[in-house]
Structures are given as C-alpha cells and as structure tokens.
Amino acid sequence: MVRFVQLYHPLPDHARWRHAEQYSRDLLQTTEEVDESSSTTPHHVFICRRTHPSHCLGIFHGENPLNCSFNIILFDLVLMILITTMLRLLLKPLKQPRIVSEIIAAIFVGPSVLGQSKKLTEQVLPDNAQFVVANLGAIGFAYFLFVTSVETDFSVLRKVGKKHVYSAVIGVFFPITTVCIVAHCFKSSIHGNLAKPVGIGSVASSVSVTVFPVIYLILKELRLLSSEVGRMAMATAMVSDVMGIILVFAFVAVKHGQHSGADALWFMISVIVLMAFAIIVIRSVLLWIVEKTPEGKPVDRSYVVLILLGVLVMTFFSDMFGLVFLHASLLLGIVMPDGPPLGATMVQRSRTIVMELLMPFTFAILGLNVDVFAMANYGWSNLEPLFAMVIAGYLSKLIATSAVALFFGVPFKESFTLGLMMNLRGLYEVTIFLKWLDEGILETPTYTLMLLLTTLMTGTCSALICFIYDPTKQYMTNKRRTIQHTPPGTELSILVGIHDEECVAGLINLLETSHPTMTSPFAVYAIHLFELVGRAFPVFIDHDKPERPPKYINYKKIHNALKLYQKPRSEYVKLRSYTVATVKRTMHQDICDLALTYKATLILLPFCNKRLDNLAGSEIVRHVYGMQSINSRVLANSPCSIGILVDKGYTHNPIAMQYYHQLFFRRCVVLFLGGADSREALAYADRMATNPEVSLTAIRFLSYNNIGDDEMEKKLDDGVVTWFWVKNEGNSRVAYREVVVRNGEETLAAIQALDNDTNELWIVGRKQGINQVLLEGLSKLSENPELGVIGDYVASTDFGSTASVLVVHQQIMRG
C-alpha cells in the first residue's frame, strides 16, 4: 500500500509529547487533499512512504517480522525489559536502585546509542511506532501514579513531629532560594524560556521537592523502610510531597495566567471541581464498595475492573478540561481507602502489570528524547548555568536537611544519611522534565542534562547511603545475651514473634513449658507481624498506649489470647504486646530493634511449614517463603539467641481452643550434637526440667574414636554437659544418655530409634560447632537451612514424628 503524504519533518522536541494528535490530524488532512488532486503545489513537497501493516504472514512467506507494527511494539517491549534486566544485574553490586537501570536502558534505546544507527532506528522504532510507544507510556505513567498514590496515606501527617516538618519546609525553601541566587548570578548566560521566572522556578522545584512514592520505592529496594532514618525520611518526604503538590498547582496556574487572568481562574475552578467530585462522590462510592466486601475477603473483580477503567475516564476528562491529565490518576489514588480490602486489592492486582509491562513504554519515551550528542554540540557556556543551578540545589538540600536533623539531636551519620535520602529522585521527576520539554521550558540538550544529573545524583546517593548507613550494625553487641550466660534467679527477657493466629497456641505452650516462677520471672514482649499491603508507610502499634490501630489490622484475637495467658501469672510474667505492619523484607529489623531495645535474651519465632489448608497453592508458596525468609534474616542479624518452633500439635485448632488443652509439652527430648547451639539448647532445656510436669531426656551424640572433634568445642561441651548432669542427678524426671556414631546415617538411625508416640517436643541446636562427622552425608537432605540439618530432618514428614520441634541458635558475637 502506497500513500502520498507531506514530507515528514521531525516535530520539535518540545512538541513530541503533547501535539502528536494534532500532527496526525494535519497529516491526514494533507493526505486527503493529495488524493483529491494528484498534482503537487508549490507549497508542499511530497514523497512516497510505505505504511506498516498490523500483522504479517510470517517468515516462511518471505516477510520481515519487523515490517509489521504489532511485531515492532512487541520487539520494543521485549528489548526494553531485557536491557533493563541486564543493567539491574550489572548495577546491583553497586547498590543502584531499579530506577537508575531503567533510565540508563531508556537512554540506550534512544538516539544516544541505538539511535545512531539510522537503519536500526527505522526498523525498531519508526515514526508510527514512536507514536504508539508515547501513548502507551503516558497510560503506564497514569497507572503508576494511581498505584503509588493508593499506597500513600496522608493521615500520617497528623502524627509527624516538628523535626519532620522543619526538615521538609527548610529542605524545600532553602534550595529554592539557592537556585534563584545562582540563576541571578548567571542571568546573562541563560537563554530562552529557561531564563523566565517560570523556567527558574521549575528547576528550583525539581531539586527541592522530594516525592514520597519515589523515596518509598527506593528505600524499599534498599531495605531501609523499617530503619530509624528510613522512617524519618518517609515522614519528611510526606510533608515535602504535600508542598510539592501545592507548588505544581501554583506553577500550572501561573502558566495559564501568562495568557490572561481568566485562564488562571478557570484552571483553579476546574481543579476545585475535580477535587470536590473525587472527595465527595468517588470516595463515597469506594467506601460503599468496602462496606459491601465481606470481612477477610478481597474486593470483587468487577469492582477492580471498574476502578481501573475509572483511572482512564478521570484522565480523559482531566485532559479535556485543560488540566494536567496525570493529576486525575493521582487524585483518584489519594481518595482510595488505603489498606485491605480495597487499597490492598488494587495494588496486588495491578502492580505487576503496570510496573513490568506498561512502564517500559514510559521509560522508552523518556529515552527517545535524550540526545547526548545534541547536548555536547550545545556548548558548555549554554549548559553551565543549568548545571550550576541543579548542583547548587541538590547540595543546599543536603546541607539544609542534615543541619535541621542535627539541630533536633539526630547523630551526624544519621543526619547526613537523611540528607542523602531526601536527594533521591525517580520517575515522577524525570517525567516532569518531559513535560517541560513539551512546554518549551527545556530544549533537548537541557532536558538531557537534567535527566543525566538526576540519574547521577540518585545513583550516587543510593551508593553512599548503603556505604555509610547499615541499620544492622547496631545489633552487633559485645554483651552476651544468651540463656546459657543468664544467671539463675534473674528475669528472662523473651521476644515472641507472631505471624498469625495459628502460631499463638504453640508459642504459649512453649512459654509455659519454660516454667516461669516467682524466683525466675519472665518478661515477654510479643510482636504481631502484619504484612503491609496497599499502603507505603509502616505502622508500629504499642497496645499499652491509647492509640487507635487501623481498621484493617486484625489484632484483637492474638492480643486477647496473650492477655488471657498472662493474667493468672501476672506476678511472674510481664507482658507487653505490639503490632507491626510493614513489608516482609524489613520485618526482621523491627524484631531485632525491639529485642535490642528491651535487651532480650531469646527471640522465639514460629516456623511456617506447609500445612496451611485455608490458603490456595500459590498463596502457600508465597506465605511460606516470606515467613522463612524473615526467620533467616533474624538469624543473620539477631542481637541475642533465637528459638524457632515447628508446632505440629495445634495447627487446626482455633486460637481460643488452646485453653481446653494442656499448656505445656510434657515429654521433651534434647538432641545434643555439640557446639554453641547445642549448649544453648541444653541450657534452655534445663529451665524446662524445673517444671514438675515435664520429663526430659538428653541424648549426647559422640563421634567414634573422637574423629573430627574440635578440642576447644569438646571442652566447652563437656563442661556444660557435666554441669547439667550434676544439677539434675537427683531429678527422676531427667535422663541422660550418650550415643556413639560413625557418620550421619548412624546419627539418623539413633534419632529414629528414640521416636515414640509419647514424645511431644524435640529440642535441638541448629548448626554452630557440630562435628561434621556426625552429619556426614546429610547436607543434601536439608531443605530449610534456618532449621539446620538435624532440625529439618526431625521436623520433616519423612521422620514421621508428631512431636513439635524447637531449634535453638545461640547468639553470635559480632561486636
């Protein structure tokens, strides 16, 4: 098919984004005119141009797949995803966030790299493909804003402190002032629209305002959401984000006011009407959907589809009324009720599609407007003012934010880290640059410089944050916090981690088996771990304080069960309970922080095995993997000893049924294979031996002819075993035996011989210091490294025991 069209002149860079539709209409009109008259006119030059069919017959018919528009779009998508993935793998050791890889990949597919080959560009990204990519990119960014704004909970603003407000306010206005001063110094060198107040204000706002969704995504990648500095940065960014939204609306109003005051007035009226409609009408409908959804169930799929369709409808009307079309999706996400069921469902159902399939088009259109060669030819004298303004703005924000934090007593390292965090930038900022390019504030060289500087700043700050600030270093204590080294007759501080209701009964049984008394009291700190979905800001609730938890956190059953256990034992069991809602990858920080704060001796965690009958198959895998990864991270960073309980006895009982059963394990067996973990396990078992209702059997495994023994570990083991035996020699409920084995197979055979229906709890050390001869040939059998080889075997279904398993890990001295 051949069509006569007007000679194609590339649109000006500032017109590519917004005026593509008008250009298409002009092109169509010109084509129709040519069809009516086959002769050319002096005002037009025409060429023959072959259009791309939507589909091709295939390579077996001799057709090039890249001559079809559908295949081109698919190829572009796959190319962006592959390049981004490779860059993420390469930059991951350098502690670079995902946004850096995505921007570099976008630059790679643009005119700066692949675009240098004209033939390749014509094949991979012809003009009509760029038009489709641009529109898909705009849709992707609209949904990105919607998803991230759903997770943003502005109610947190009621709880921010003075240091957050001052850090945000000073961190915004001080860089703006600095940029304006630098711009005044270079006023003779600044050209075009960038020299106008609107241009200078645009640059100032971009370096001074930190957007909350951007910093949330980067801190989530860096695993700093639950850290003290991370929480401070997010609270500060929340205040800064509100100021940024106000500045954006003011900026757009000023732009409209350049033509006439009436335009600015109509813009403000449109904004007010749109906000009123979203808050009064749309939010009421969304709350009605929440009320119609049964408790504990996800929102109906039809409602999800309607809401996602509503994003496009709101975006259409926003653009039709002359507003920035992206504000509509942002506003719709803000009025969305956060957390389960609605907010969480929307995020879960849409995040993957948006981030993995639509966002590559957004980054592609960003990269297609980046041209480093145009920037190089532009001349340093023309770029120097913008470079100076941007660098001065970022440095002044770093200084201002750090200084305010220091003023409020934050240590220097944390204050400097906070300043670096507030200079992190992401997709929102670079898309604003594209908007300025569209409006003529920036040109291709200045747009390229802004994008490169922003990417460089984000990458540098991310690497410095990881190098300077490590939240796990505070857990490296040089004090012994173990059961073995806790003097008898002193209070034992225990932190209990609870994932769900099914964990409570087994953990309470273990606490009661541990036998707290007036002479050996317990201080129990229970932390209910709730996965944060549908909102970004972590929640930390102290149930001893009059604080109202979010409605979507179901904590009452767990809290009440712990209170019922503690109430009759209030004289020798102190209880304090908390609920933490955060992402799984940082839950271990909340556990370790609380253990460090209360100087815990032992952390008790449940092991989530694959017995969750109320979950679907895919949810089992996700839930189990998430809980086990938490346990592994706690093991790697804990400031004290850890016990992981595999509870086999009460999984199918409701939480309240625990009070109709025994409150302790009556018959316990200790498997002592040597090493620090086994010594800690034996010390814990010794406390259980004081319980008059508990019988205990300790089995020590020795290698034949002492092969493979470490002399130091052997002496330490002998000392603890001798102490245990002498102390319990007159206790008829305690038995001690020794077993000599040659390899791992004999070890398992000896353990199998000990199994009988009367055993209720196996206690075993995890792995530290075990003679490897005792485990020879068993390493490949372990599927759960957090349980150790023996613990995993005893807990497995292959072993066949119905008894629960406690795996003990002694504190590792890191200080």
Residues 6 or more apart whose CB falls under 8 angstroms from that of 137 comprise 358, 361, 362, 363, 364, 365, 366
- Separation between Cα atoms, residue 748 and residue 790, nearest integer Å: 8
Cα atoms in the Cβ-side hemisphere of radius 13 Å centred on 782: 17
- Calculate what percentage of the chain has a pLDDT beyond 90: 30
Q: Calculate mean pLDDT across residues 339-344.
A: 78
Residues 6 or more apart whose CB falls under 8 angstroms from that of 436 comprise 202, 442, 447
Task: Tell whether omega for the bond before 341 is within 30 degrees of 0, i.e. cis.
Answer: yes
Residues 6 or more apart whose CB falls under 8 angstroms from that of 581 comprise 530, 531, 532, 538, 539, 540, 541, 550, 553
Q: What pLDDT, on a 0 to 100 scale, did the predictor assign at position 173?
A: 92
Q: What is the pTM of this model?
A: 0.81
Q: What pLDDT, on a 0 to 100 scale, did the predictor assign at position 161?
A: 83
Q: What is the pLDDT of residues 301-332, one digit of tens each?
A: 888 889 999 898 888 888 777 666 677 888 88
Parallel/antiparallel/unpaired status of strands 46-50 and 2-6:
antiparallel
Type of residue found at 193: N
- Separation between Cα atoms, residue 517 and residue 488, nearest integer Å: 12
Length of the chain: 815
Tokens of 337: 């009720």
Return the minimum-mean-pLDDT range out of 210-224, 548-562, 710-724.
Answer: 548-562
* Greatest pairwise CA separation for the chain in angstroms: 115
> pLDDT confidence of 22, banded at 50, 70, 90?
very low
Return the minimum-mean-pLDDT range out of 17-21, 212-216, 263-267, 298-302.
Answer: 17-21
CA-atom Rg of the chain in angstroms: 32
Return the minimum-mean-pLDDT range out of 79-88, 92-101, 192-201, 381-390.
Answer: 192-201
- Separation between Cα atoms, residue 561 and residue 553, nearest integer Å: 16
495: β partners: 525, 603
Tokens of 137: 């990119």
Query: Helix or strand or coil: residue 740?
Result: strand
- Separation between Cα atoms, residue 456 and residue 207, nearest integer Å: 13
CB 761 within 8 A of CB 668: yes
Q: What pLDDT, on a 0 to 100 scale, did the predictor assign at position 375?
A: 92
- Dihedral-angle region of residue 354 (phi above 0 means left; psi in -120 to 50 means alpha; beta otherwise): alpha
Tokens of 90: 């390469």
Type of residue found at 151: E
Residues 6 or more apart whose CB falls under 8 angstroms from that of 618 comprise none
Parallel/antiparallel/unpaired status of strands 539-542 and 695-703:
unpaired
Planar angle of CA 555, 556, 559, nearest 5 degrees = 85
- Calculate what percentage of the chain has a pLDDT beyond 70: 85
Return the minimum-mean-pLDDT range out of 48-62, 179-193, 337-351, 492-506.
Answer: 48-62
Q: Calculate mean pLDDT across residues 250-259.
A: 70
- Separation between Cα atoms, residue 299 and residue 297, nearest integer Å: 7
Residues 6 or more apart whose CB falls under 8 angstroms from that of 520 comprise 488, 489, 490, 491, 492, 572, 687, 690
> pLDDT confidence of 611, banded at 50, 70, 90?
very low
Q: What is the pLDDT of residues 102-124, one digit of tens each?
A: 999 999 988 888 888 887 777 77
pLDDT of residue 2 exceeding 80: no
The owner of tokens 């959401």 is 225
Cα atoms in the Cβ-side hemisphere of radius 13 Å centred on 47: 6
Tokens of 353: 């599609």
Type of residue found at 345: T
Q: What pLDDT, on a 0 to 100 scale, did the predictor assign at position 38?
A: 44
Q: What pLDDT, on a 0 to 100 scale, did the predictor assign at position 52?
A: 61
Q: What is the pLDDT of residues 632-681, one digit of tens each?
A: 899 988 999 999 999 887 544 444 444 434 566 788 999 999 999 999 99
Question: Exposed, middle or buried by CB within 10 Å (0-12, 13-18, 19+), for 694?
Answer: buried
Tokens of 709: 């023994």
Q: What pLDDT, on a 0 to 100 scale, did the predictor assign at position 37?
A: 44
pLDDT of residue 624 exceeding 60: no
pLDDT of residue 155 exceeding 60: yes
Phi, psi dihedrals of residue 466, rounded to the nearest 5°: -65, -30
Tokens of 514: 């541990």
pLDDT of residue 754 exceeding 60: yes
Alpha carbon distances (Å) from 812 to 252, 642, 677: 58, 10, 10
> pLDDT confidence of 248, banded at 50, 70, 90?
confident
Phi, psi dihedrals of residue 541, rounded to the nearest 5°: -120, 125
Q: Calculate mean pLDDT across residues 525-541.
A: 83
5: β partners: 47
Closest CA to 278 of 324, 334, 317: 334
